[in-house]
Amino acid sequence: MINISTCNYGTHTAVHIRSGRRDLQLVMYSGQTVEECLAMHSRDLRRHASRIIAQTEFIERAQAQMKEKAHA
């Protein structure tokens, strides 16, 4: 099971990934894709890239919806 949390700081997004006993903190800068960010990290992490990308995109959509509701 992979657990992902994100926090957007405007110029970059911190992505915290927990997988079993492993913990990884990634930083994605504005304009950088998830794929580009993952390409700079270990082979083991890249093996899980499709699941990480799908979960990250889901989280980003949920955060955008929450922001829209907060501004409505």
pLDDT for 33 equals 76
pLDDT for 47 equals 66
> How far is the first Cα of the chain from the last one, in angstroms, to the nearest whole number?
35
pLDDT for 20 equals 72
Q: What is the pLDDT tens value at each position of the chain, 72 positions in all?
A: 667 777 777 777 787 777 777 777 777 777 777 777 777 666 656 666 677 777 777 778 888 888 888 876
Q: Kindly report the pTM of this predicted structure.
A: 0.42
Biggest distance spanned by C-alpha atoms of the chain: 43
Contact predicate 60/6, CB 8 Å: yes
